[in-house]
Amino acid sequence: MQVLEAIEGRSSAKKFSDQGVPASTIESLLRCAARAPDHGLLAPWRFVVLLDQGREVFAAALESALRRRHPEADAETVSRERSKAFRSPVLIVVATSVSSHPKVPDVEQVLAVGAAIENLILAARAAGLGTMWKTGGAAYDPTVKHALGLADTDQVAGFIHVGWPTEMKPVRAVDIGGVTRWVSNAGA
């Protein structure tokens, strides 16, 4: 698949099959993610790949975080929260780990992580896989971060679900005319 085709036809998966994704494919996606622009070569991203038992640990952390935020949550709400760990056969948690650097502001490091996620998503699409980028309250919860082995200072940028899609969201229409200003002969 050509890069422009991958970008122009990108949409999120709605549902995934239970079929696993080979470890070599996951490693390839992570290598592509790590090719993102990275001023200062700081590699400000952290990838946590959750499979099998890892998703069980994540589900328990999601439940704990929900119960702390909403102690009144009923059994159905708790079940729905736990099920988020099992939407796809592979769940890649991407976190931002900002380093103090005199020439690379925090915002550039955060943006590099966003670019890494987009690289991962496009590489997955090129491999025939679907992705779904999620966050929500759990992304900001210290219990969840600790369960994932992340530092207190790390910030979860996204829970990236990866798998063989069985249903995709429609590719949304894009109109750049209303949001782009063309400038020509600048400085002339």
* Per-residue pLDDT at 175: 79
Residues 6+ apart with CB under 8 A from 12: 130, 131, 132, 133, 168, 169
Domain spanning 13-166 has what CATH number?
3.40.109.10
Q: What is the pTM of this model?
A: 0.91
* Per-residue pLDDT at 188: 53
Which amino acid, residue 184? S
* Per-residue pLDDT at 54: 94
With CA atoms as reference, report the closest residue to 154 among 186, 109, 117: 109
Q: What is the pLDDT along the chain (188 residues), one digit of tens a residue?
A: 688 998 999 999 999 999 999 999 999 999 999 999 999 999 999 999 999 899 999 999 999 999 999 999 999 999 999 999 999 999 999 999 999 999 999 999 999 999 999 999 999 999 999 999 999 999 999 999 999 999 999 999 999 999 999 999 999 988 777 666 666 765 55
Angle 121-123-127 (CA atoms, 0-180°, nearest 5)?
Answer: 115
